[in-house]
Amino acid sequence: QVQLVQSGAEVKKPGASVKVSCKASGYTFTSYYMHWVRQAPGQGLEWMGIINPGGGSTKYAQKFQGRVTMTRDTSTSTVYMELSSLRSEDTAVYYCARTSYYDSSGYYDKWGQGTLVTVSS
C-alpha cells in the first residue's frame, strides 16, 4: 500500500537547521510530485514548496526562499526538507504530501504522518 513515512520529532535551538525526511513506498516514486506543508499549533495549513522527484527541480513559497531546501534520493525513494535559521515561529508539524505528475488537478491524495519540529532555547 502507498505510504509516506516521515522522520521523528525534533527539538532545535533558534538559529539552527532541521532536516526532515519522507520515505515513499508502494508506488512509482517519480510519478508524483512531493510537497511540504506545515501547520503551526492551532493554526491552518501553509504550503512551503514542491519537488519533482524525477528531475529534482524545486519551487518554494516566497516566504521560505533562502531558508528552505528540498532534495531527493531516488535510490531510497526519500525526499528531504531542510529549514535553516530556525526561529520560534517555525515550531509546527511538517507534512509531506504527494500530487500526481499526470493529473493537473493538484490534490493531495496521500500525506505523511507529520513531524513535529519544536524551536526553543
49: contact with another protein by CB under 8 A: yes
8: contact with another protein by CB under 8 A: no
47: contact with another protein by CB under 8 A: yes
Residues 6+ apart with CB under 8 A from 42: none
102: contact with another protein by CB under 8 A: no
35: contact with another protein by CB under 8 A: yes
- Region near another protein per CB under 8 A, out of 12-20, 24-32, 78-86, 112-120: 112-120
Number of residues that bind another protein (CB under 8 A): 24
Q: In the structure, how many helices (H) and strands (E) does the chain have?
A: 0, 11
Count other C-beta atoms under 10 Å from residue 21's C-beta. 19
60: contact with another protein by CB under 8 A: yes
Q: What is the DSSP string of 48-98?
A: EEEE-TTT--EEE-GGGTTTEEEEEETTTTEEEEEE-S--GGG-EEEEEEE
Q: Which of 10, 23, 27, 46 binds another protein (CB under 8 A)?
A: 46
